[in-house]
């Protein structure tokens, strides 16, 4: 299902990919006038300059480096939450049965776990429902309505979904069920006629609009515990789930999200919940030194895998496990789902490799075919965006229907763009998501129309500076900054993620001294470089294709990390890019 016209707008996929020459660009600076600000905290000068370039000086710098739960906004500041807390309080006091309706991704699963554990600790009568991706579809639907009515619940509480469920809310109301919606997805129409709608993403609700679904759910629980006058220690522990779900949903890690994730990581390091501890162990990560990357790239994908290719209930059972023995049983099932997810993902990517070999990307990518597992098309779209720096849509065709996922680049609001296309042309049957990501369904015959409409939108000059593969650089390091002390200082910037990327440094004219390909499939690159009279080990994951460049001096883009292999305590360069060194003319 790839017409020849569009085939010429794509490039090949992983193993046989040729090198994509990313533009090396200085990361945009929000406040240049702050660059020369004083450094009262005694940070390494290169780090102080980096943070000033990101807009952190004075009180903002201190608060950034010391995220404190005491600085979190009040739960009652979120629009609609007081009414939701009041209804939930009545349900708990009156021993009403409450059903928690979640979503099948990591944000939705962790949000469901937060509310279920929070309510169970109050001895509430609570049950849950998470739709199956393929059988039930996304969000509050007929399956959730049926499950709620059959359970005898008098209150349905949605987490990370529900904002587009007006029809379902009406059915439940007719059945005598109150509905409280907590969500964070964008929605253009009128909110459903629920008892209460808590969605910080709705127009005008600033500055809370960047919360993930799990963040909104946790704030609701905080309000409930406050109203009931209960000890909030359990909520502090549940911040571990908030950290995982927030990182998984790739929301902006500033303000409240930074505080929530940082506090959650502190508690994981101190005493992880049984389920999170089991996931870290299964991924060969250690809780005591857990990083945001561990949660983003090892824990969250395992939780997501259940909803993508299996049953999200497996992941929920693991995250709500009461002890280590119980968690060890459930984690085996989660690992099986993750193994299956990786196999399916590999199959889709290999198919794309063969199908798209030797062609160039345009201003956007729309890929569609039969046989692609729709549980992993979102991952494929993300890989395309990362590789080529353009909005990417990957669509699985099943029968006469296409099930698609869209991912975008900063500054290109793909959900809003698709929403506009849907409104004007009626191409898609359903659509939901965030500015940077969307999921949709459409008739197979409408895929060419969607492609053409998107190409028309993306042809606008306003997108010119936002498209194409870019590697953002944060600055150069002084010779004395190549040290373990600098790495420790940079670790104060955790958690890293959207809106707070791990600093990428540049060094010019490095001498490649040794290099070899490593890894099971030889796809990684291990090097030794001479820089400023010293030698440093570098590792480039998936960068074996750069070997031909290493016969002469090169410029390196990298992040700094500690090399603790076999008890060592040196630094290593995590390579992000390599290019030929060109001597500057004097």
Say whether pLDDT at 112 is over 70.
yes
Say whether pLDDT at 234 is over 50.
yes
Contacts for 538 with CB less than 8 Å, ≥ 6 apart: 525, 526, 527, 528, 529, 556, 558, 572, 573, 574, 575
Using alpha carbons, select from 309, 269, 303 the residue that is nearest to residue 287.
Answer: 269
Say whether pLDDT at 4 is over 50.
no
pLDDT of residue 584: 65
Every domain range in the chain assigned CATH 2.40.50.460: 469-586
Rounded CA-CA distance 34/71 in Å is: 24
Highest mean pLDDT: which of 193-207, 221-235, 427-441? 221-235
Instruction: Tell me what the mean pLDDT of segment 527-546 comes to.
Output: 93
- List, for residues 123-181, the tens digit of each pLDDT value: 999 999 999 988 998 889 999 999 999 999 999 999 999 999 999 999 999 999 999 99
Residue 313 — very low, low, confident or very high, per pLDDT cuts 50/70/90?
very high
Q: Please, what is the average pLDDT of the chain?
A: 90
Instruction: Tell me what the mean pLDDT of segment 206-221 comes to.
Output: 87
Rounded CA-CA distance 139/130 in Å is: 9
Instruction: Tell me what the mean pLDDT of segment 310-328 comes to.
Output: 96
Instruction: Tell me what the mean pLDDT of segment 523-551 comes to.
Output: 93
Rounded CA-CA distance 329/176 in Å is: 39
Residue 326, SS3 per DSSP: helix
Predicted TM-score of the model (pTM): 0.89
Using alpha carbons, select from 120, 50, 17 the residue that is nearest to residue 505.
Answer: 50
Residue 106 — very low, low, confident or very high, per pLDDT cuts 50/70/90?
very high
In the chain, % of residues over pLDDT 70: 91
pLDDT of residue 96: 98
pLDDT of residue 5: 30
pLDDT of residue 186: 80
pLDDT of residue 9: 30
Instruction: Tell me what the mean pLDDT of segment 202-220 comes to.
Output: 82
Say whether pLDDT at 462 is over 80.
yes
Q: Is the bond preceding 207 in cis, omega lying within 30 degrees of 0? A: yes
pLDDT of residue 465: 85
- List, for residues 471-506, the tens digit of each pLDDT value: 999 999 888 899 999 999 999 999 999 889 999 999
Using alpha carbons, select from 301, 330, 369, 312 the residue that is nearest to residue 135.
Answer: 312
In CATH, the number for domain 4-16+359-466 is 3.10.310.30
Using alpha carbons only, what angle is made at residue 527 by residues 523 and 533, rounded to the nearest 5 degrees?
165
pLDDT of residue 563: 83
Is the domain spanning 69-264 CATH 3.40.50.200? The answer is no
Say whether pLDDT at 567 is over 80.
no
Per the CB < 8 A criterion, the answer to whether 116 and 100 are in contact is yes
Residue 303 — very low, low, confident or very high, per pLDDT cuts 50/70/90?
very high
Using alpha carbons, select from 153, 228, 164 the residue that is nearest to residue 197.
Answer: 164
Lowest-pLDDT range of 127-131, 201-205, 323-327: 201-205
- List, for residues 539-555, the tens digit of each pLDDT value: 999 899 999 999 999 99
Say whether pLDDT at 520 is over 90.
no
In CATH, the number for domain 469-586 is 2.40.50.460
Instruction: Tell me what the mean pLDDT of segment 563-567 comes to.
Output: 67
Say whether pLDDT at 2 is over 50.
no
Instruction: Tell me what the mean pLDDT of segment 320-340 comes to.
Output: 96
Lowest-pLDDT range of 27-41, 135-149, 230-244, 267-281: 27-41
Say whether pLDDT at 333 is over 90.
yes
At 239, which helix (H) or strand (E)?
helix 233-248
Residue 237 — very low, low, confident or very high, per pLDDT cuts 50/70/90?
very high
Residue 263 — very low, low, confident or very high, per pLDDT cuts 50/70/90?
very high
- List, for residues 50-77, the tens digit of each pLDDT value: 998 888 888 889 999 999 999 999 999 9
Instruction: Tell me what the mean pLDDT of segment 204-221 comes to.
Output: 84
Every domain range in the chain assigned CATH 3.10.310.30: 4-16+359-466
């Amino acid at each position: 299902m790839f017409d020849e016209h569009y085939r010429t707008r794509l490039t090949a996929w992983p193993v046989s990919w040729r090198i994509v020459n990313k533009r090396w660009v200085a990361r945009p600076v929000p406040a240049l006038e702050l660059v020369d600000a004083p450094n009262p905290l005694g940070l390494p000068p290169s780090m102080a300059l980096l943070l000033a370039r990101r807009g952190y000086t004075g009180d903002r710098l201190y608060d950034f480096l010391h995220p404190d739960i005491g600085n979190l906004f009040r739960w009652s500041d979120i629009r609609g939450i007081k009414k939701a807390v009041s209804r939930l309080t009545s349900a708990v006091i009156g021993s009403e049965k409450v059903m928690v309706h979640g979503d099948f991704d990591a944000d939705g699963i962790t949000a469901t776990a937060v509310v279920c554990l929070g309510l169970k600790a109050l001895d509430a009568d609570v049950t849950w429902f998470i739709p199956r991706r393929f059988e039930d579809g996304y969000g509050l639907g007929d399956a959730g309505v049926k499950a709620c009515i059959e359970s005898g619940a008098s209150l349905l509480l949605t987490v990370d979904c529900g904002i587009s469920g007006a029809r379902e809310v009406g059915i439940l109301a007719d059945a005598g069920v109150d509905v409280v919606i907590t969500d964070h997805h964008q929605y253009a129409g009128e909110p459903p006629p629920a008892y209460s709608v808590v969605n910080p993403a709705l127009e005008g609700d600033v500055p809370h609009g960047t919360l993930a679904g799990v963040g909104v759910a946790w704030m609701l629980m905080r309000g409930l515990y406050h109203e009931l006058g209960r000890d909030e220690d359990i909520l502090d522990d549940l911040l571990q789930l908030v950290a995982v779900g927030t990182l998984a949903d790739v929301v902006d890690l500033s303000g409240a999200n930074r505080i929530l994730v940082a506090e959650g990581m502190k508690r994981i390091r101190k005493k992880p919940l049984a389920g999170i501890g089991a996931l870290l162990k299964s991924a060969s990560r250690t809780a005591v030194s857990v990083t945001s990357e561990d949660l983003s790239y090892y824990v969250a994908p395992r939780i997501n895998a259940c909803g993508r290719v299996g049953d999200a209930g497996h992941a929920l059972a693991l995250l709500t496990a009461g002890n280590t023995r119980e968690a060890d049983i459930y984690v085996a099932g989660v690992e099986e789902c993750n193994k299956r997810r990786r196999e399916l993902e590999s199959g889709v990517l290999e198919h794309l490799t063969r199908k798209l070999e030797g062609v160039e990307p345009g201003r956007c990518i729309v890929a569609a075919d039969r046989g692609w597992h729709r549980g992993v098309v979102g991952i494929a779209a993300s890989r395309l965006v990362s590789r080529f720096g353009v909005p990417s849509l990957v669509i699985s065709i099943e029968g006469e229907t296409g099930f698609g996922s869209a991912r975008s680049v900063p500054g290109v609001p793909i959900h809003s763009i698709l929403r506009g296309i849907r409104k004007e042309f009626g191409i898609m049957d359903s659509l939901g998501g965030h500015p940077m990501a969307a999921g949709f369904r459409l008739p197979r015959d409408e895929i060419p129309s969607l492609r053409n409409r998107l190409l028309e939108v993306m042809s606008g000059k306003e997108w010119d500076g936002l498209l194409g593969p870019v590697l953002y650089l944060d600055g150069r390091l002084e010779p004395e900054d190549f040290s373990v002390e600098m790495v420790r200082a940079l670790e104060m910037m955790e958690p890293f993620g959207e809106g707070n990327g791990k600093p990428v440094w540049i060094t010019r004219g490095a001498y490649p001294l040794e290099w070899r390909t490593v890894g099971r499939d030889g796809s990684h690159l291990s090097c030794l470089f001479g820089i400023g009279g010293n030698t440093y080990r570098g590792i480039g994951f998936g960068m074996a294709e750069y070997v031909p460049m290493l016969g002469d001096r090169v410029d390196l883009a990298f992040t700094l990390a500690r090399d603790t292999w076999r008890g060592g305590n040196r630094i290593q360069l995590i390579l992000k890019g390599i290019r030929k060194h060109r001597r500057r003319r004097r």
